[in-house]
Structure 1
Amino acid sequence: MYFAALLARTEDGWKASDTELDDVETLSDLADLAREASTDDDTVLVLIEQEDAWFGVVRLDGEDDPRIYVSDAAAAARSSYGEILLTDELLGRDPDGDDDLDALDLDGTEDGEPDEDADDEEGGGAGTGTADSAVPHGPVGDAEVLDDLGVTEKELRALSGDAVGEIAEALGASDVLETVR
């Protein structure tokens, strides 16, 4: 089960709204949705959580590019909402994918060339995928995304369970978040 909420910082404190992500297909769509919740280009946080599997924080400050943190990239990659956050840039991938290296297996052979180790009984062939198809287990992104708001990198990395609730509590926004849960 997923939960997603927008927290917008205003002069009067944090304002929360739950958000429906069904029509969001890209990070750009998500950023546009978040900016609509903002007044005067204030800070907006998009908090997304899948029950104890992973959580993500997207921060927008005015027209700046979104800053993203995902607690477990591999778990998020198995989620349609997580895939929105896991951009090529965040994962350190070449977005064009037109490198000559893409035609090489990890063992250095080109696609279509026989791998001499493939017939090895012990399965010693290393060419089982491409380097840019791997998604790391564990956190990715800007772990300092909430530092100036009172949640340090160490605290963010240590969150589990109800991470969204813990973030809201640290921001002083747990009451407004509860109104949209």
Structure 2
Amino acid sequence: MYFAALLARTQDGWEASDTELDDVETLSDLTDLAREASVDEDTVLVFIEQEDAWFGLVRVEGEEDPRIYVSDAAAAARSSYGEILTNELLGGESDDPADDLDALDLDGTEDGEPDEDDEDGDGDGGSAAAGESVPSGPVGDLEILRDLGLSESELRALDTDALPEIAEALGAADVLEAVR
């Protein structure tokens, strides 16, 4: 079971809304969803939680690239929404083959010749999508909430039911509880 929420910073504090991820297939879709919730290109946090398994944060500010944190990459990589985040963080396969230069054989190897990064010769280059090189534990931007009141060590210490603690640190506990 997933829970997803958007926390958008405004001049008056934080506004929270739960959100459906049914139409989200890529990080770009998720980023667009966050930007739509933004007021004057202020900070928007997307929180995704899979019950008792992992949680992820995506921080979007204006047109900057999103910042991402995942509490347990190995657990997240086994779920559809978590795979979107871990592939971005770990350099997994792109959703768009035009973005994947390896698919175009532009890496200097002959067809069928393993890359140096692909020592087992299975042709996947050790991508996150293959599930082989996905580390257990947190990955991503450990400083994602530092300026908002949650340090790296506090973020690492959070369990899978982290949203209430994050909202408390941000001063958004009441608005979040209203949508949860």
Measured against aligned partners, the alpha-carbon deviations of 1:15-40 in whole angstroms (never above 9, x if no partner) come to: 00001001011000111110110110
* Contact 1:4–1:20 (CA under 8 A) maintained in structure 2: yes
Between the aligned residues of both structures, percent identity stands at 72
Look up the SS of the partner of 2:20 in the other structure: coil
Which residue is 1:79 aligned to?
79
1:16-31 matched pairs, under 5 angstroms: 16-31=16-31
Larger Rg, first or second structure (1 or 2): 1
Report whether the alignment pairs 1:147 with 2:152: no
Q: Distance in 2 between matches of 1:107 and 1:46?
A: 34
Q: Distance in 2 between matches of 1:178 and 1:135?
A: 33
Q: Distance in 2 between matches of 1:109 and 1:80?
A: 26
* Contact 1:103–1:111 (CA under 8 A) maintained in structure 2: no
* Contact 1:7–1:16 (CA under 8 A) maintained in structure 2: yes
Which residue is 1:61 aligned to?
61
Measured against aligned partners, the alpha-carbon deviations of 1:43-65 in whole angstroms (never above 9, x if no partner) come to: 00001111121000000111110
Which residue is 1:104 aligned to?
114
Q: Distance in 1 between matches of 2:118 and 2:64?
A: 40
- TM-score, normalising length: structure 1: 0.82
Which residue is 1:33 aligned to?
33
Q: Select between 25-34 and 99-108 the one with higher mean Cα deviation.
A: 99-108
Structure 2 unpaired stretches of 5+: 94-99
**Alpha-carbon offset, residue 180 of structure 1:** 1.0
1:41-56 matched pairs, under 5 angstroms: 41-56=41-56
- TM-score, normalising length: structure 2: 0.82
Q: How many residues align?
A: 164
Cα RMSD of the aligned pairs, angstroms, is: 2.4
Q: Distance in 2 between matches of 1:26 and 1:9?
A: 23
**Alpha-carbon offset, residue 165 of structure 1:** 1.2
**Alpha-carbon offset, residue 93 of structure 1:** 4.8
